[in-house]
Amino acid sequence: MAEGVAKRYGTFSALSDVNFTITSGITGLLGANGTGKTTLLGMMLGLHQISGGSLMVLGVDPFTDGSKIRARMGYAPEHHTLPGDVRAADFVHHVAELHGLPPREARTRASDALWLVGLGEERFRPMGTMSTGQRQRVKLAQAIAHDPSLVLLDEPTDGLDPEQRDDMLHLIKTVSESFNISVILSSHLLDEVERICDAAVIIGDGRTLAAGTLDDLRGTGADVVVQVGSEAEAETLAQILSGRGVAHQIDGRTVIIRGDDESVFDTARDACASAAVSVHRLSRRRLSLEDVYLERAS
Amino acid sequence: MTAEIYDRGYRRYDGPRTGVRGAMTTLIKHSIRRSLGLGRSARFKVVPILIILASFVPAVVFVGIAALIPAAIGDEFLPTYAEYYGFIITTLYLFAAFIAPDLLCNDRRSSMLGVYLASPLDRRSYLAAKAISVAIMLGIVTIGPPLFLMIAFVLEGSGPGGFLETLETGAKIIAAGLMMSAVYTAVSFAVSATTDRSGTATAGTLGALVGSTAIANIVVENTDVSDNVLLFSLLELPGELAFRIHGEVGEWRPGAISTSNMWLAVAGILVVSSLWVWSRYGPLLVRR
């Protein structure tokens, strides 16, 4: 949970007013490159002290009680420059031991984690000989091998082709749903967050632009969208709505009727009937994350 | 009797966790393995193995001399334990110059520092574990060969006489070895904290050792300053203090440079190095 979190480097303000509450499931941390996502992840890990506000992770202040918190967290860094001469199984085993697993347990779980991410057969290969996709999987395996409560993944699909990206997103969803591990997924790609996340925190200009479940962010439950046959019909419908004092917005063949209760459907139906327009679609308004991002950013 | 097939797979773990101490132990073991080239390709094994072997070769030769030549003649060829460092000093410098850069610089250049600091380790425990790893590795060279020499001499009957004398000699060997390891660890650590390039750090460590010695000696020989300026000689100070630990006199005259000043200089090197390393790592932004 973050309340008014700020981070300054000298006179430069990287984050100024970040507020969010993250619950279990997969949460997307969205923002353009350089908006402070990695800095925020670093603060969650207790690597950087916050300059203002308060930040609690798993109920604890990560900076003052970092060791305890980090034992229960997994982290996959963004960059791919892991030691190339180290075998994947040795690397994952080493990280699992670092997080407190006894050596034998760490060895077994490293193997299990690598099998889970699809690298069972490749686990004894040096990481320098692996493709970008395989290295991303190794990073995921080392982040989950010690059975964390929370995993931070920094751009886990960076450098992957579309097919590999699908596989990685599927894996992340499996990790979260099958093993009840909460995931914070840092990304600048809106569509991948939209595909697998339950909630999102959108960062821009060093502050929270929006935060909440995807349903909340996309506005499910508010406004009705009516798509009619032509722009002229949309104009006619808009005139009827204006005459009845109903708030609305027109966009080409689409008319958005404001209202968040069930009666807005009746209003839409009656207006369409009065205007004698052909209705092609009538549904609750549902924004894409891109719409939300652009709307909040502007 | 029926056979059962277990499909364990990934599962939850609710067993014990070893905490910060366990993480440090793991990092120390891992760092020593990397320094020795274990689990790495052959080219990483060559340098450490050659250096360790080279440090033991004189000891093996001296044990052979002690065994084959009568004691009255052989003693003239045999070095004291403090003198032994003179035979392996090059291997010591090389070891110091290669190990710390390999263990520190590469972590910063790769994502490994971020991975370590995302574990229960923090900057202090990470640096402490790395310093212990380097000191243990250097200890193989600073303590191993003289200890081997002493044990061999004891077995041959030409070593320290009696249990107490053997114990005292062993303690001096360990104390001198630890002191040398600490000084060279401090120097190589400080240089390795300054640059991300391990090659540069290796050259810098050798440069610091040789350069400080050359400058200190030139200043003392060509000016009227106190001989205590030689305490800045990072190359000579540990070896000379090893003589004093063993109750011997090396190149430095005790009247000119006191043993207490030498200990102070060693403490100064450790403190300055620690402060410098912390000044580099404390504010370091881990962005990978």
d(CA B142, CA B106): 25
Distance from CA of A45 to the nearest CA of B (A): 6
Tens digit of each residue's pLDDT (9 = 90 or more) over A113-141 = 999 998 888 888 988 899 988 999 999 99
Kindly report the pTM of this predicted structure. Answer: 0.83
Q: Band of the pLDDT at A9, cuts 50, 70, 90? A: confident
Please give the average per-residue pLDDT across B260-278, as a whole number: 96
Is the CB of residue A210 less than 8 Å from the CB of residue A20?
no
Interface touch B119/A147, C-beta < 8 Å: no
- In tens, the pLDDT along B42-68 reads 888 888 899 999 999 998 988 888 888
Rg (chain A; Cα; Å): 24
- Which chain A residues are Cβ-neighbours of B13 within 8 angstroms? 101, 105, 109, 146-147
Residues A115, B41: C-beta atoms closer than 8 Å: no
Backbone phi, psi, residue A153, to 5°: -115, 120
Q: Using CB atoms, pick whichever of B13, B114, B119 lies closest to residue A98.
A: B119
pLDDT band at B73; cut points 50, 70, 90: low
Does residue A66 have a pLDDT over 60? yes
Which has more confidence, A296 or A214?
A214
SS3 track for chain A? CEEEEEEEECCEEEEEEEEECCCCCEEEEECCCCCCHHHHHHHHCCCCCCCEEEECECCECCCCCHHHHHHCEEEECCCCCCCCCCEHHHHHHHHHHHCCCCHHHHHHHHHHHHHHCCCCCCCCCEHHHCCHHHHHHHHHHHHHCCCCCEEEEECCCCCCCHHHHHHHHHHHHHHHHHHCCEEEEEECCHHHHHHHCCEEEEEECCEEEEEEEHHHHHCCCCCEEEEECCHHHHHHHHHHHHHCCCCEEEECCEEEECCCCCHHHHHHHHHHHHHCCCEEEEEECCCCHHHHHHHHHC
Q: Which strands, in side-by-side order, build the sheet including A254-257?
A: A248-251, A254-257, A224-228, A279-284
What is the per-residue pLDDT for A258?
A: 84
Domain positions in chain A are 2-218, 224-286
Tell me: the pLDDT tens digits for A229-239?
Answer: 999 999 999 99
CA distance B189 to B100: 6
Partners of residue A281 on adjacent β-strands = A227
What are B78-107's pLDDT values in tens digits?
Answer: 888 888 888 888 888 888 899 889 899 988
CB pairs under 8 A between A and B: 117
Query: In this complex, which of A67, A79, A98 lies closest to B122 when CB atoms are compared?
Result: A67
Region A2-218: CATH code: 3.40.50.300
Least confident of A218-227, B28-37, B174-183, B235-244: A218-227
pLDDT in tens, B206-231: 999 999 999 999 999 899 889 999 99
- Residues whose CB is less than 8 angstroms from the CB of residue B112 and which lie 6 or more positions away in sequence, other chains included: A82, A83, B106
SS (H, E, C) A64-97: CCHHHHHHCEEEECCCCCCCCCCEHHHHHHHHHH
**Average pLDDT over chain B, rounded to whole?**
88
Q: How far is A213 from chain B (nearest CA, A)?
A: 27
pLDDT above 70 covers a percentage of chain B that reads: 94
- Say if residues B209 and B240 touch (Cβ distance below 8 Å): no
The full DSSP string for B7-76 is ---S----S---HHHHHHHHHHHHHHHHHTTTTS-HHHHHHHHHHHHHHHHHHHHHHHHHHHS-HHHHHH
Q: Which two tokens stand for residue A159?
A: 């450098």
Which residues on chain B place their C-beta less than 8 Å from a C-beta of chain A?
Answer: 8-13, 15-20, 22-23, 26-27, 30, 39-41, 44, 106, 109-112, 114-122, 285-288
Average pLDDT over residues A3-12: 82
Compute the distance between CA of residue A46 and CA of residue A50 in angstroms, rounded to an integer. 9
Contacts of A87 in chain B (CB under 8 A): 39
Indicate the residue type of B59.
Answer: A
Q: What is the mean pLDDT of chain A?
A: 87
Confidence of residue B2 (pLDDT cuts 50, 70, 90): low
- Mean pLDDT across the stretch B232-251? 92
pLDDT at A260 over 80: no
Q: For B20, name the nearest residue in chain A, comparing CA atoms only.
A: A67
Q: In chain A, pLDDT over 90 holds for what percent of residues?
A: 31
Domain boundaries, chain B: 19-281
Minimum-distance CB partner of A83 among B17, B106, B114: B106
Residues in chain B: 288
Write the pLDDT tens digit of every residue in A75-93.
Answer: 998 877 788 888 999 999 9
- Structure tokens of A124? 């004894």
Cα distance between residue B43 and residue A90, in whole Å: 19
B33 pLDDT above the threshold of 90: yes
CB contact under 8 A, B13 and A101: yes
pLDDT score for B74: 61
Judged by average pLDDT, the poorest of A76-80, A287-291, B191-195 is A287-291
User: Which residue from A minimizes the CA distance to B117?
Assistant: A47
Report the pLDDT averaged over residues A245-260.
Answer: 87
Could you tell me if A98 and B116 are in contact, meaning their C-beta atoms sit under 8 angstroms apart? Answer: yes
> Which strands form A12-20's sheet, in the order they lie side by side?
A52-55, A2-9, A12-20, A207-213, A199-204, A26-30, A182-187, A150-154, A73-76
- Kindly report, residue by residue over A167-188, the tens digit of the pLDDT: 999 999 998 998 889 999 998 8
- Confidence at residue B169, expressed as pLDDT on a 0 to 100 scale: 92
Q: Which residues of A touch B27 (CB under 8 A)?
A: 98
**For B11-15, what is the mean pLDDT?**
86
pLDDT band at B190 (very low <50, low <70, confident <90, very high): very high
Structure tokens at A146: 């010690």
For residue B261, count other CB atoms closer than 10 A to its CB.
15
pLDDT at B176 over 90: yes
Judged on CB neighbours under 10 Å (0-12, 13-18, 19+), A99 is buried
Residue B6 has a pLDDT of: 59
A282 Cβ partners below 8 Å, 6+ apart?
A224, A225, A226, A227, A265, A268, A269, A272
Those residues whose C-beta lies under 8 Å from the C-beta of residue A276, and which sit 6 or more positions away, are A236
pLDDT of A51 > 90? The answer is no
Residue B288 has pLDDT above 60, yes or no: no
| Chain B CB contacts of A66 below 8 Å | 122
Q: Provide the pLDDT confidence category of residue B232 given band limits of 50, 70 and 90.
A: very high
Question: Do residues A70 and A25 make contact, with C-beta atoms less than 8 angstroms apart?
Answer: no
**pLDDT above 90 (res B15):** no
For residue A5, pLDDT over 60 is answered with yes
Q: What is the per-residue pLDDT for B186?
A: 94
d(CA A91, CA B59): 37
Name the residue of chain B whose CA is nearest to A85's CA. B40
Does residue B190 contact residue B276 with C-beta atoms inside 8 Å? yes
Structural contact between residues A47 and B118, judged by C-beta atoms closer than 8 angstroms: yes
How far apart are the C-alpha atoms of A92 and A141, rounded to whole Å?
A: 7
Q: How far apart are CA B136 and CA B146, in angstroms?
A: 15
Residue of B nearest to A139 (CA): B115
Mean pLDDT within A86-114: 93
Q: Which residues of B touch A108 (CB under 8 A)?
A: 8
Cβ-contact A77, A136 below 8 angstroms: no
Domain A224-286, second-level architecture: 2-Layer Sandwich (3.30)
Q: Which of A28-32, A191-195, A288-292 has the lowest mean pLDDT?
A: A288-292
- The pLDDT, as a whole number, for residue A210 is 84
Type of residue at A207? R
